[in-house]
């Protein structure tokens, strides 16, 4: 992303502060000599938690040990920093320098709040929005709004997410409207135990970043928790569900909301749906190739479909497949247990080509962000 | 940068790859594929006995025996379920367990009410609850059914289940043996499933460990571990046929077959650990040899609580040796996102 003069002026204050913190320089989103940088939360075999960045050639950019396990990553739109967001019910998230790996700032949630593992920076670079739990009313979803002040994120406000147990959120193409997955599950502070499996209320919400509700849509089954998502450049939203009912029951584990259309199940063949074991993890849309990728770690299965036709492009076994992110020619997929893979899907009509990447195997958390 | 230029196919040439590859080849050829074939053979026999029984060509004992063998082969296969049979809802099609709400009985009766002349195609479209061994067992052993007197009603279901299991099992063996099938994926790396031998070995051992963990649930649930100590005899696997402990033994022996396959033990440099695992298998199997009664009776007899607790403890020791120490010794990651996602 190239900076305008106006943006440069607006950020002069921040950059001045940054200079005292190790020479932070503007980060233009052009591939460097080593290509895209893969960002993820990761563990080591002793159970320690890390915020990591690896180039796809295997070189480690950084692996910064952090106190609590993180989940997803919110990269800043043009500074070389990213927030590694604490996994629920964590009360900490970590702002990390993407070149040095330095932990610049630990963001603590407000009293009676914890993070749900996902956050996004606004395109202005000034604001961060994080899904959070109001533990005084367990499960009531709020969007914590933080202002980036120097290299400190300061709590500014919060607004409701208009649902229970929010999880992933993403910007719509206008850059000011947020799509939020309200998972529908109530959990208490310091707990991951579901309290309301017989009264779940998942929803897909579109809202303005000031909190104003635009739309709220549900799927047919209340036990079908809407958790993860991606948004295509044309505004198509795809969500991945985790069904909290029985394994042998049938529930749509992918759903789609095309621009101007209702939210509905993404068509899947039943054997493919059964492969997912009622659990989907990461969703990634490749807007240029019009492809949709999804990981199903309980089913040990990785999928890619054509976004418009629903035709299967990849349906492959992959142990504990975790994060997935789009790269120019396809997708990169990480794993909690095995090696990471690249799928080249760039040639239509030709089977996708898989490569096993020279990245550390296993212990990657469920989301991966790629800075390309 | 093209993805393919950063692929590392040389991984398989690492120093530890060669012994692992040899061990996996042996496991695939001599343990895993044969277990699938034995299971398929037992289902072929089950289908044939069901057809013969319903045509007055054999007796009920022969059908019971065929069922017992199919059940035994399935139990033995469970700690070896790598590949196609572990995917999708296929294992549910073989056996519906746990059956917390007695769905098997209810749905089997409903299916026969709506389809008195049930055939295989209709069963294939029905719920997994009634497609497998659990429904077959219900017909053979439930007290409410007098099969010799009610063959007209129940034979269509027995025959259809037999055909369904035979077909499913043969499909699985085919998926193992086809070009680029599971057998090849355990021998030629990298492939669609595994990057290197290490990934395949880890998968095999994870399945073995899951099989042992599942046994703890199969024993602990009827003992009342999930019910504040109050026994739940009808939550035992195979309670109708009283084959619960036979199944348990078969699964332990299936796990042991992996451990005892040539080369596996040698991958563990800690001899003391290997000996403890040997002993743990012996302890569980010896304990099972002394079982005083079927599990459904044992859990309802307070005098047998110590015996059951001792069996559970030995099973727990066996499981934890694999889950913790063997996995660590072989540097295998056990569950991460799959078991503890978000």
Phi-psi region of A82 (alpha: psi -120 to 50; beta: other; left: phi over 0): beta
User: Residue B141: CB partners within 8 Å, gap ≥ 6?
Assistant: B240, B241
Which site among B95, B130, B191, B341 would you substitute to test the A interface, given the most A Cβ atoms closer than 10 Å to its Cβ? B341
Answer whether B341 sits within 8 Å of A281, measured CB to CB. Answer: yes
CA distance B146 to B149: 6
- What is the reported pLDDT for B62? 98
Is the four-CA dihedral A350, A258, A328, A62 of positive or negative sign?
Answer: negative
pLDDT tens-place string over residues A312-347? 999 999 999 999 999 999 999 999 999 999 999 999
A217-268 residue pLDDT tens: 999 999 999 999 999 999 999 999 999 999 889 999 999 999 999 999 999 9
How far is Cα B103 from Cα A147, in angstroms, rounded to an integer? 54
Name every chain A residue with its beta carbon within 8 A of the beta carbon of B6. 35, 56-58, 342, 355, 357-358
CB neighbour class for B258 (10 Å; exposed up to 12, middle 13-18, buried from 19): buried
Per-residue confidence band for B338, with pLDDT thresholds at 50, 70 and 90:
low
pLDDT reported for residue A8: 41
Q: Which stretches in chain A have pLDDT values below 70?
A: 1-32
Nearest alpha carbon to residue B263 among B32, B27, B14, B12: B27
For A76, the 3-state DSSP assignment is: coil
Domain boundaries defined on chain B: 16-185, 197-337
Structure tokens at A158: 């919060």
Mutation for A interface: B209, B337, B340, most A CBs within 10 A:
B337
Same fold, B16-185 and B197-337: no
What is the rounded distance in angstroms from the CA atom of residue A189 to the CA atom of residue A133?
8
Of all residues in chain B, what percent carry a pLDDT higher than 90? 90
Instruction: Enumerate the residues of chain B whose CB falls inside 8 A of the CB of residue A343.
Output: 3
What is the secondary structure of A187-244 as a DSSP string? --TT----S-TTS---EEEEEETTS-EEEEE--S-TTEEEEEEEE-TTS-EEEEEEE-
pLDDT of residue A313: 97
Confidence band of B6 (pLDDT split at 50, 70, 90): very low
Mean predicted confidence (pLDDT) in B32-48? 98
Q: How far is A252 from chain B (nearest CA, A)?
A: 15
Alpha carbon distance A226, A237 (integer Å): 12
Nearest to A79 by CA among A153, A158, A177: A153
Chain B interface, Cβ < 8 Å to A: 1-4, 6-9, 11, 87-89, 92, 96, 127-129, 190, 192-196, 198-199, 202-203, 206, 328, 331, 333, 335-338, 341-342
Which of the pair, B220 or A248, is modelled with greater confidence? B220
Ordered domains of chain A (ranges, CATH): 1-30+67-218 (2.130.10.10), 227-372 (2.120.10.30)
Map residue A7 onto helix, strand or coil: helix
Residue of B nearest to A116 (CA): B342
Q: Do A56 and B331 lie within an 8 Å CB cutoff?
A: no
Domain B16-185: give its CATH code.
Answer: 1.20.1420.20
Helix ranges, B191-262 (H) = 197-223, 244-259
Q: d(Cα B36, Cα B24) in Å, to the nearest integer?
A: 16
What are the tokens at B186? 């355990």
CATH of domain B197-337: 1.20.120
**pLDDT value of position B3:** 54
As a dihedral over the C-alpha atoms of residue B153, residue B157, residue B159, residue B160, rounded to 10 degrees, the angle is: 140
Alpha carbon A290 to chain centroid, angstroms: 19
Q: Does the structure show a pLDDT above 80 at B17?
A: no
Residue A58 and residue B6: Cβ atoms within 8 Å? yes
Structure tokens at B147: 């099969």
Which of chain A's residues have a Cβ under 8 Å away from the Cβ of B207?
A: none
A41 neighbors A70 (Cβ within 8 angstroms):
yes
Q: Given this model, what pLDDT does residue B301 score? A: 97
Nearest to A317 among B6, B128, B192 (CB): B192
Interface test with A, best of B91, B94, B336, B340 (most A CBs within 10 A): B336
Average pLDDT, chain B: 93
Q: What does the pLDDT look like over B197-218, one tens digit per residue?
A: 999 999 999 999 999 999 999 9
The secondary structure element, H or E, covering residue A127 is strand A127-134
pLDDT for residue B336: 72
Q: Considering only A14-28, B15-29, B151-165, which range has the smallest mean pLDDT? A: A14-28
Q: What pLDDT does residue B339 have? A: 66
């Amino acid at each position: 992303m190239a900076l305008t003069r106006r943006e440069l002026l607006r950020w002069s204050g921040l950059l001045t502060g940054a200079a005292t913190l190790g020479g932070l320089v503007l980060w233009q989103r052009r591939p460097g000599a080593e290509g895209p940088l893969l960002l993820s939360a990761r563990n080591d075999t002793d159970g320690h938690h890390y915020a990591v960045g690896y180039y796809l050639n295997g070189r480690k950019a950084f692996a910064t040990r952090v106190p609590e396990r993180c989940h997803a990553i919110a990269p800043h739109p043009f500074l070389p920093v990213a927030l590694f967001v604490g996994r629920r019910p964590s009360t900490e998230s970590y702002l990390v320098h993407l070149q040095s790996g330095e932990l610049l700032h630990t963001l603590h949630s407000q009293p009676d709040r914890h993070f749900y593992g996902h956050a996004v920076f606004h395109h202005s670079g000034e604001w961060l929005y994080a899904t959070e739990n109001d533990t005084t009313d367990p499960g009531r979803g709020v969007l914590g709004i933080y202002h980036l002040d120097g290299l400190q994120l300061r709590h500014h406000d919060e607004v409701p997410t208009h649902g229970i147990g929010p999880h992933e959120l993403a910007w719509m193409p206008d850059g000011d409207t947020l799509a939020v997955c309200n998972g529908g599950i109530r959990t208490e502070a310091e707990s991951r135990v579901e309290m309301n499996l017989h009264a779940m209320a998942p929803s897909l919400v579109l809202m303005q970043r000031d909190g104003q509700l635009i739309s709220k849509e549900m799927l047919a089954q209340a036990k079908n928790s809407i958790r993860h998502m991606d948004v295509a450049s044309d505004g198509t939203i795809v969500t991945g569900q985790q069904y909290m009912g029985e394994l042998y029951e049938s529930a749509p584990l992918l759903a789609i909301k095309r621009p101007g259309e209702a939210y509905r199940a993404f068509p899947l063949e039943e054997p493919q749906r059964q492969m997912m074991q009622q659990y989907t993890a990461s969703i990634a849309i490749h807007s240029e190739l019009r492809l949709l990728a999804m990981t199903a770690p309980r089913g040990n299965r990785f999928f890619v479909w054509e976004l418009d036709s629903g035709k299967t492009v990849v349906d492959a076994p992959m142990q504990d497949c975790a994060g997935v992110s789009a790269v120019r020619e396809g997708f990169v997929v990480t794993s909690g247990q095995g090696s990471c893979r690249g799928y080249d899907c760039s040639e239509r009509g030709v089977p996708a080509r898989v490569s096993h990447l020279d990245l550390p195997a296993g212990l990657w958390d469920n989301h991966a962000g790629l800075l390309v | 940068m093209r993805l393919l230029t950063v692929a590392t196919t040389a991984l398989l040439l690492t120093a530890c790859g060669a012994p692992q590859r040899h061990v996996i080849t042996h496991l695939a050829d001599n343990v895993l594929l044969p277990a699938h074939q034995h299971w398929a053979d037992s289902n072929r026999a089950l289908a044939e006995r069901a057809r013969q029984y319903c045509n007055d060509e054999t007796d009920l004992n022969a059908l019971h025996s065929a069922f017992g063998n199919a059940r035994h082969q399935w139990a033995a296969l469970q700690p070896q379920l790598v590949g196609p049979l572990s995917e999708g809802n296929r294992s549910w099609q073989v056996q519906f367990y746990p059956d917390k709400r007695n769905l098997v009985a209810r749905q089997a009766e409903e299916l026969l009410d709506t389809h008195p002349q049930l055939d295989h195609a209709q069963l294939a479209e029905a719920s997994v609850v009634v497609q497998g061994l659990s429904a077959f067992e219900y017909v053979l052993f439930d007290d409410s059914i007098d099969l010799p007197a009610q063959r007209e009603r129940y034979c269509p279901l027995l025959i259809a289940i037999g055909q369904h299991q035979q077909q499913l099992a043969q499909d699985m063996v085919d998926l193992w043996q086809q070009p680029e099938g599971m057998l090849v994926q355990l021998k030629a790396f990298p492939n669609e499933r595994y990057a290197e031998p290490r990934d395949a070995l880890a998968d095999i051992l994870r399945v073995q460990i899951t099989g042992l963990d599942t046994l703890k649930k199969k024993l602990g649930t009827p003992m009342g571990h999930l019910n504040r100590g109050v026994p739940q005899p009808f939550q035992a696997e195979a309670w109708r046929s009283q084959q619960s402990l036979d199944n348990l033994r078969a699964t332990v022996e299936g796990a042991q077959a992996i451990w005892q396959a040539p080369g596996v033990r040698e991958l563990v440099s800690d001899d003391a650990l290997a000996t403890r695992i040997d002993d743990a298998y012996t302890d569980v199997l010896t304990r099972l040899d002394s079982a005083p009664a079927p599990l459904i009776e044992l859990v309802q007899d307070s005098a047998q609580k110590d015996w059951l607790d001792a069996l559970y403890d030995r099973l727990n020791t066996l499981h934890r040796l694999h889950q913790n120490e063997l996995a660590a010794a072989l540097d295998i990651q056990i569950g991460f996102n799959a078991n503890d996602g978000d």
